[in-house]
Amino acid sequence: MSNTKQVHITQYLCFAMSAIKHAIASKFNDGYIQFMDKTWYSKAIYFKLDYHSPAYVNENLTVKSWSDASNNRINCQIMRDNDCLSTFSISFNPDLKYIPGLLPLALDVVNYDLFTITYNLDNFFHYRDRFNQPDLCKFIFAYAETLGTSVRYGIWDIPKLLSGTKGSMVLIANQCTIDPVFYTMDPDASSRLSLQLTSISNRSFISTYEIIDNQTEKVMHRTDSITVFLKDGKPEVFPDSFKETLLRKVPFKISAEKPQPLFDSIPSSHYTYHRKVRFSDLDFNDHAGYANLATFCMDAASNAISSKSSAYKLDFGQDFNPSCVRQINFVCRSQLFPDDEFAVDTWQGSENNTLYFNVRQGNKMICQSEIVIDPQSICRSN
């Protein structure tokens, strides 16, 4: 992409947090690592970011990170050669404890029970992409974070239900539907987020995540996900007690516990985008979640377009503006972890309204994605 495109200021925060995660993972110890474990986020009490000058897409930047142990603070500088673009500091209370089962005081919960949680998202539309519209990938990421938060705070208590089974839950497929009005929402629009369990089968369940405009009651964004129960790496029938508990609230519905691939082969006319997993790409489980996979696919599309690849026949201009996206489908087979190198193959389908993506490590498939667009809504960028 063109190096005249400025990096959004919120990315500076991602750069700094990524540097801190990298320092922790590398076991570099200058004193502050003593209380920095997987729950370090819960110990943060204050952060400050000073913006000095812009960074640009595809630049090489350096992030310096060090601790002020006496004040329980970590400092960062985001540098371009010898120029400091931004400074960042984050303060901690090492005595704070992460206690699952307690709602965070700042979470404005509307209602919840064992299988549903709804809370207000005032100012959530302030999350903007480089086209100054609601950031689609950030909203997808909110689903994963909401699921994680719900589980950790005992609202959607799947770990408790699965305790003693030695099994785990793994997301294998989802479908995300976006209303076109989503991209025009005002930054101050009030919304709420709802996450609920909707059905169960022998080995999997379907959950539904919705972002609802409080003014119009319209669903702006919906994701339906299939999560499968695994034991020793293989799909396993739910324990009877688990299924009995779920069936008190949700219907039994046969679902595809091994979804069909979105495509069988990759055409010769495709574009390949190469990247490495950064620490800022990780979710609470320390792997790149499916929201990050959506970001990787969007980045691949942008690079294919700016490179004038023949893989795309439609005229998108110089960049991929996601305001034309109406649906995103994923089928997941594996995961990406810190520092993993991977590739994304992308091309336009014969339907003329579909872009396909194959995320892989070498010949190993990580996931397949299908992005359905409205060709009439393409915003061509210069």
All domains of the chain in start order, with CATH: 9-92 (3.10.129.10), 101-259 (3.10.129.10), 261-382 (3.10.129.10)
Q: Is the dihedral of CA 178, 298, 183, 85 positive or negative?
A: positive
d(CA 272, CA 105): 45
Burial of residue 181 (CB within 10 Å: 0-12, 13-18, 19+) is exposed
The confidence score (pLDDT) of residue 271 equals 97
The confidence score (pLDDT) of residue 192 equals 87
pLDDT beneath 70: ranges in the chain = 1-4, 27-39, 41, 97-107, 112-115, 123, 143-165, 254-257, 279-280, 282-286, 382
Which residues make Cβ contacts (< 8 Å) with residue 288, sequence separation at least 6?
277, 281, 282, 296, 335, 336, 337, 340
If you search the block for the tokens 């949680």, which residue do you land on? 117
pTM: 0.74
